[in-house]
Structure 1
Amino acid sequence: MGTQSNIRCKQKIMVVDDEELFLELTEEFFSEAGIDIITTSNPESVLNLFEKHSPSVLITDLSLPNCSGIDLAFKVKQLYPSTKVIFITGYSELNYQDERLVSLMGSRILHKPFPITSLIHLAESLQG
């Protein structure tokens, strides 16, 4: 008599933000939830990290040093089209162009501050 294994294929999530404390807390909470997470404060390292780790979800701040989160997401989606994207922002409202681009990508937006559990649940729901 065989047993059936319920091992879920663990997918990885990448978080890009220039706030180190946010990255540390996010890494801690995601790890406690059993989610593999890669964090970086350097947008320039994202494509190399994607090639190495193949995350299924990208969580990025809209406003990053030397790069917009939307531009970063477009670069990632060009190379990895199945990647799901969640944008996070401290701005209460987005300009029309940013809202339109986010909508066209089928992405989600969370406005800071938000409960970290909201981010975890949203990321898990996008992993499928």
Structure 2
Amino acid sequence: MEKMKIMLVDDEERFLKTTKKLIEKKGYEVLTAQDGEEALEKLKSQNVHVVILDVKMPGMDGNETLKAVKALYPLVEVIMLTGHATVDSAIDGLKSGANDYLMKPADIDEIIEKATEAFEKRQRLEEKIRLAQSKKYMRSPREILKGDDE
């Protein structure tokens, strides 16, 4: 079974370092990025399953980054993270494709639980895609027999 790979995106360096260490201690692979542009650059070369994304960042904010991630990498699950939660930013994030929303300071176990749920959702979606692709190549017994008669 594939192991979940998480990317933390936050402009607070101390939060990134501490959270990365704590999640890695639980056995997960963690990448970090300090802004949306860096996150998008790393997603080009890394197979990341779940992005934990801060809403308030200088430059490209979390909602802009979320929209770019979902446009370029639709299977990547995104969990929005904020210390400045507003109902509007939560609604915007969820409408734009965020899987879930967490408040800072978020408990490590809660982050991992939400990330695991998002990862499992992604795995179910990937399985549906594989199944649909395999059905496209498989012929029914009726099609096989019909072809043999010709």
TM-score normalized by structure 2?
A: 0.74
2:10 and 2:55 map into 1 onto residues whose CA distance is 9
More strand by share: 1
Instruction: After TM superposition, give the deviation of residue 106 of structure 1 in Å.
Output: 4.5
1:83 and 1:39 map into 2 onto residues whose CA distance is 15
1:106 and 1:80 map into 2 onto residues whose CA distance is 13
CA contact (8 A) 1:57 1:127 kept: yes
**Amino acid in the other structure paired with 1:78:** A
Instruction: After TM superposition, give the deviation of residue 11 of structure 1 in Å.
Output: 2.8
Pair 92,106 (structure 1): closer, same or farther in 2 beyond 3 Å:
closer
1:117 has 2:109 as partner: yes
1:65 and 1:54 map into 2 onto residues whose CA distance is 25
1:13 has 2:6 as partner: yes
Q: Which has the larger radius of gyration?
A: 2
More helix by share: 2
1:46 has 2:33 as partner: no
Further displaced range: 70-79 or 98-107: 98-107
C-alpha RMSD of matched pairs (Å): 1.4
**1:73 aligned residue:** 66
2:41 and 2:81 map into 1 onto residues whose CA distance is 22
**1:3 aligned residue:** none
2:86 and 2:35 map into 1 onto residues whose CA distance is 25
**Amino acid in the other structure paired with 2:16:** L
Q: Once the two structures are aligned, what percentage of the paired residues are identical?
A: 30
CA contact (8 A) 1:17 1:41 kept: yes
1:67 and 1:119 map into 2 onto residues whose CA distance is 23
**1:100 aligned residue:** 91
Instruction: After TM superposition, give the deviation of residue 86 of structure 1 in Å.
Output: 0.5
**Size of the alignment, in residue pairs?**
119
Q: Deviations over 1:62-118 (max 9, x none)?
A: 0111121011011011011011110110114232xx333222214211111221211
Pair 115,52 (structure 1): closer, same or farther in 2 beyond 3 Å:
same
1:26 has 2:19 as partner: yes
TM-score normalized by structure 1?
A: 0.85
CA contact (8 A) 2:20 2:32 kept: yes
**1:5 aligned residue:** none
SS at the partner of 2:87?
A: coil
Runs of 4+ in 1 over 3 A off after TM superposition: none
